[in-house]
């Protein structure tokens, strides 16, 4: 006797519900009613003849069966998405999500990749969000910022570790001088990429000046905005040496203090744990070998 397979709609509803662990929030994410989500989950559980969630007054939790089922569903839906893309596009298409701060670093590498492999198209999407959820976002791969983690759904490839140092426009240096002391740096406007000022705090700790602060501060939403303001001479930012390499080489920026530190974080190329298609494997290899 043949058993009906769950529909992709039911499986997608399961993924979203497992992510939110709340029928109301899942319904909002899927733009359907709470009742529709509940019915989809009940239908799925009836087909599988097993409960996937524990129901509680204030939400849900995945039970043991649900925890086992979740990565298998994620893998299956990702493979279906890859298959659809391969037959619905005249050339293999790689949809890549990257944080906005890394755009100037990766764009030349993508352009040279396209020239070397014209049979593959790469669609680049920039975002201020440094994280990726492949079950919720239709990307084949992404560049993620953070610390190395073991994730049951992702494969991660380190592109480079973050090395931080102050950067500013050369016009902010005293005439005839190439460096600034910490006290001179304190008198400039500090440009911050995060409200927590964590990059500055990390760097100051290594100079044994943890309590030091600037006379003026300016906050931005992203690292690239803070560094762009530094290039225009509005103040001094903490920048990553790899991302600032071209601006430092061209003279648009200078690193006025000799100390650079490792933040313990890095930029990783991540993709679903399912084996990547040949086109994506080609791009991964290209980026890992890029200077």
* 205 and 172 together in one domain: yes
pLDDT at 130 over 80: no
DSSP bridge pairs for 94:
122
For residue 241, the enclosing domain spans 162-264
Among 65, 84, 103, which residue terminates a domain? Answer: 84
Q: Which of 87-101, 159-173, 222-236 has the lowest mean pLDDT?
A: 87-101
Convert 152-186 to b/e letters by CB count within 10 Å (16 or more is b).
ebbbbeebeebbbbbbbbeebeeeeeeebeeebbb
Domain at 107, CATH number:
3.40.190.10
Domain count, the chain: 3
CA distances from 11 to 6, 20, 38, 78, 272 (A): 7, 14, 13, 12, 17
User: Which pLDDT tens digit goes with each residue over 199-253?
Assistant: 999 999 988 887 788 889 999 888 888 999 999 999 999 999 999 999 999 999 9
* 270 and 154 together in one domain: yes
How many alpha carbons lie under 13 Å from residue 126 in its C-beta half-sphere?
10
Q: Is residue 177 part of a domain?
A: yes
* 232 and 280 together in one domain: no
Q: Is residue 276 part of a domain?
A: yes
* 152 and 273 together in one domain: yes
User: Which pLDDT tens digit goes with each residue over 134-158?
Assistant: 877 888 999 999 887 777 778 899 9
Among 59, 84, 109, which residue terminates a domain? Answer: 84
CA nearest neighbour of 133 among 203, 199, 59, 77: 77
* 135 and 222 together in one domain: no
Residues present in the chain in total: 291
* 207 and 149 together in one domain: no
* 180 and 241 together in one domain: yes
**Of 123-132, 215-224, 249-258, which has the strongest mean pLDDT?**
249-258
* 112 and 254 together in one domain: no
* 74 and 95 together in one domain: no
Q: Read off the pTM.
A: 0.68
């Amino acid at each position: 006797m043949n058993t009906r397979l769950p529909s992709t709609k039911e499986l997608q509803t399961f993924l979203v519900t497992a992510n939110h662990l709340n029928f109301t929030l899942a319904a909002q994410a899927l733009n359907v009613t709470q009742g529709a989500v509940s019915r989809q989950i009940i239908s799925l559980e009836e087909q599988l003849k097993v409960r996937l969630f524990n129901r509680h007054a204030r939400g849900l939790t995945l039970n043991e069966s649900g925890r086992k089922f979740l990565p298998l569903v994620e893998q299956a839906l990702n493979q279906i998405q890859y298959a659809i893309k391969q037959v619905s596009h005249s050339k293999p298409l790689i949809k890549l999500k990257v944080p906005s701060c890394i755009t100037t670093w990766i764009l030349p590498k993508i352009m040279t990749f396209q020239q070397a492999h014209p049979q593959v198209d790469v669609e680049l999407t920039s975002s201020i969000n440094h994280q990726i959820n492949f079950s919720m976002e239709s990307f084949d791969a992404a560049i993620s910022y953070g610390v190395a983690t073991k994730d049951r759904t992702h494969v991660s490839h380190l592109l480079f570790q973050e090395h931080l140092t102050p950067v500013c426009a050369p016009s902010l240096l005293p005439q005839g001088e190439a460096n600034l002391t910490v006290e001179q740096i304190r008198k400039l406007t500090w440009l911050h990429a995060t409200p927590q000022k964590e990059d500055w705090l990390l760097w100051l700790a290594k100079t044994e000046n943890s309590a030091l602060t600037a006379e003026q501060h300016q906050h931005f939403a992203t690292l690239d905005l803070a560094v762009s303001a530094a290039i225009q001479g509005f103040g001094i930012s903490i920048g990553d040496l790899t991302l600032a390499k071209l601006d430092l080489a061209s003279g648009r920026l200078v690193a006025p203090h000799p100390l650079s530190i490792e933040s313990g974080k890095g930029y990783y190329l991540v993709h679903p744990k399912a084996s990547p298609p040949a086109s994506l494997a080609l791009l991964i290899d290209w980026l890992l070998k890029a200077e």
